[in-house]
A and B are shown apart, each in its own frame.
Chain A
Amino acid sequence: MDKKIRMKAKDVDFYYGPVQVLKRIDLDIFENNVTAIIGPSGCGKSTFIRLLNRMHELVSNARLEGSITLDGKDIMAPEVDPVEIRRKVGMVFQKPNPFPKSIYENIAYGLEVNGVRDRDFIEQKVVESLKKSALWEEVKTRLHESALRLSGGQQQRLCIARCLAIEPEVVLFDEPCASLDPISTHKVEALILELKKDYTIVIVTHNMQQAARVSDHTGFFYMGELVEFDKTEVIFTRPRDKRTEDYITGRFG
């Protein structure tokens, strides 16, 4: 593990009201790596990934202890603007959620709210991010049509393009293929492997094969705890914990 650490969770306890959902999570996210988070439903993996760009703050009674850092700086510090964190740490959601606007506007939106006014620059960025997300060839003739007319897989790649357009450093994928068919899933996975050259990636997934295919490191969450975290090949071939072994061999979950 000689790579540079981009994000680091240290002693993270997390509560919704009186209920503790995450217990003492310690996890490192390495630069230009894909870090997969696996675990059964309700284990806290989606909750964890939403901490990484402070999306948990949308829930009013959430409470966090411990620290999460990006390049050594605490992202939860009171003087840090969540908007700034979300610009650096982008997110792609479980269900494709393009805005009910045109394909072009979907991508331009993120740039506009981040203060970009230059039309030419926006146009160039739209094309560039659609190419990066491998959607350009399919949509180049209909950029001004509604994004809702795209297929589910295309919508998800549009959401990825939208996220890339604002040049994040870390990209979080929260079960990005949960609602996609196998072909679209394959495309998104190929894309993730391509993107890791330029970005640091964290992906939450239900699908262990997916974690094995795309990730460099894997963390196994179970009942709010990080049971095991290691290189993906280690987790899938020589897990240390009995629970990890049971889960990856399909004995529960």
Chain B
Amino acid sequence: MNRKNKEKLIEMFFLFNGILVILILVGIFLLLLKNALPAFKEVSLQHFLTKPIWNPDAYEQPTYGLLPMLVSSLMVTVGSLVVAVPLGIGTAAYLSDVASPRVREIAKPLVEILAGIPSVVVGFLGIVLLGPVISRLTGTYNGLNALNGSILLAVMALPTIISLSEDALGSVPRAYEEASLALGANKWETVIKVKVPAAASGILAACMLGMGRAIGETMTVLMATGNAAEFPRSFLGPVKTMTSTIAIELGEVAYYTTHFHMLFAVGLILFLITFVVNLCADIIFHKHTRVQA
């Protein structure tokens, strides 16, 4: 085989890999769509999007309202971001600008290891550790609620946010830092007023990827949020997210029933949300790297 053909072959191999990933993505989407669409033969899309109750087992009139679980998912996600974003950016700023090189060398891998803790372990900690604490502090029954889920998801989103924000801060040209210090700014003013704004798009992308992680997380919220099938009222009440609903119910539902197809419809919505969030993060991130270059 001559050299030209060899190169062609290698090129084909990489092309194939690239196409495969796209095919898998499209395949998942189509599968979800195929299994979700039959649901709307019996239940209207309007019913799905507006009914405030999800009760597929009702004897008389089963209802399939997306809203309670959509609101639940958004609550724990937003809750987790409220905790994780300030903490994550603060930690990233500390690691990139305050910590000595030695501390950074040790701390950054540790943060990344945090991302590797299995979600079931995090959920377990939510039940045995965080639950009782929340219960005692707020006087709620068992502390398995949206607040618990939010805090746990924050812990899980933190590594992504810290690690990528630190990269973004680290890629801010040193010239900005020098300019700021030479004007008589102190270290913190330099970080907050010059470096963080200059790294803003990278940090935003980091937060969105963290959010993507939080909204799609299943096991942790399943274990820690109580899973009551009612419309969520507060952070101290139990919630049942889209992911937990699918995980709990898909195991026991009769195949090819409306309920079965409805769960796929929920999955489709979840897929679309995470897809859009990740796509936005990607666009922001690439805009950021282009500006830097």
A interface vs B, CB < 8 Å? 53, 55, 58, 60, 83-84, 86-87, 90-91, 93, 95, 97-101, 109-110, 112-114, 159, 162-163, 166
Bound form: Cα–Cα A166–B194 in Å: 17
CA of A86 to CA of B186, assembled, Å:
10
CA distance A109 to B193 in the complex (A): 9
Interface residues of B in 272-293 (CB under 8 A from A): 291
A84 and B182 alpha carbons, distance in the complex (Å): 10
- Decide yes or no whether B115 CB sits under 8 A from chain A: no
Of B101, B175, B182, the residue contacting A95 (CB under 8 A) is B175
Question: Which of B173, B185, B193, B197 is the one whose CB lies under 8 Å from A97?
Answer: B173
Cross-chain pairs A/B with CB under 8 angstroms, 7 sampled: A60-B100, A60-B101, A87-B183, A98-B179, A99-B180, A100-B291, A113-B193
Q: Distance in Å from the Cβ of A51 to the closest Cβ of chain B?
A: 13
Please tell me which one of the listed residues B181, B189, B198, B291 contacts residue A99 in the complex, with CB atoms under 8 A apart.
B198
- Please tell me if the beta carbons of B182 and A55 are within 8 angstroms of each other in the complex: yes
Q: Is the CB of B176 within 8 A of A55?
A: no
Q: Are B184 and A101 in contact (CB under 8 A)?
A: no
- B105 at the binding interface (Cβ < 8 Å): no
Cα separation A222 to B176 with both chains bound (whole Å): 30
- Interface contacts beyond A110-B184, A112-B193, A114-B183: sample of 16 additional A-B pairs, CB < 8 Å, sorted by A: A53-B182, A55-B181, A55-B182, A58-B178, A86-B181, A86-B182, A86-B184, A90-B182, A99-B179, A99-B198, A100-B197, A100-B291, A109-B194, A113-B184, A163-B182, A166-B184
Contact check: which of A84, A100, A101, A166 meets B183 at CB < 8 Å?
A: A166
**Most B CB within 10 A of own CB, among A83, A87, A93:** A83
Q: Which residues of B contact A99 (CB under 8 A)?
A: 176, 179-180, 194, 198
Residues A55 and B178 in contact in the complex (CB < 8 Å), given A100-B198, A113-B193: yes
B197 touches A83 (CB 8 A): no
CB distance from A180 to the nearest CB of B (A): 15
The interface size bin for chain B is: 20 to 34
B183 in contact with A97 (CB, 8 Å): no
Interface residues of B in 112-154 (CB under 8 A from A): none
Q: Which of A58, A90, A113 contacts B185 (CB 8 A)?
A: A113
Binary contact track B38-60/A, C-beta < 8 Å → 1, others 0? 00000000000000000000000
Tell whether A114 pairs with B180 under 8 Å between CB atoms, given A99-B198, A101-B197.
no
Assembled-state Cα–Cα distance A110/B186 (Å): 11
* CA gap between A90 and B198 in the complex, in Å: 23
Complex formed: what's the CA distance from A7 to B54 in Å?
78
Interface residues of chain B: helix, strand, loop or mixed (majority): helix
A163 x B183 contact (CB < 8 A): yes
A127 vs B178: C-alpha distance in the bound complex, in angstroms?
24
Evaluate contact between A159 and B184: CB separation under 8 angstroms. no
Q: What A residues does B186 contact at CB under 8 A?
A: 83, 113
A30 to B177, CA, bound (A): 29
- Min Cβ gap A70→B in Å is 14
Q: Taking the nearest CB of chain B, how far is it from the CB of A54, in angstroms? A: 9
Residues of A within 8 A of B180 (CB): 99, 109, 113
Of all chain A residues, the one with the shortest Cβ separation from B181 is A86
Given A109-B193, A113-B189: A97 touches B178 (CB 8 Å cut-off): yes
Which chain A positions have C-beta within 8 A of B179?
A: 93, 97-99, 159, 162
Q: In the bound complex, how far is the Cα of B193 from the Cα of A98, in angstroms? A: 14
Contact A162 B175 (CB under 8 A): no
Q: Which residue of B lies closest to A115 (CB)?
A: B184
Chain B 81-102 near chain A by CB (<8 Å), digits 1 or 0: 0000000000000000000110
Chain B residues with Cβ below 8 Å from A87 are 183-184
A83 and B182 within 8 A (CB): no
State whether B184 touches A114 (Cβ < 8 A): yes
State whether B181 touches A58 (Cβ < 8 A). Answer: yes
Q: Which residue of A lies closest to B189 (CB)?
A: A113
Q: Shortest distance in angstroms between A86's beta carbon and chain B's nearest beta carbon?
A: 5
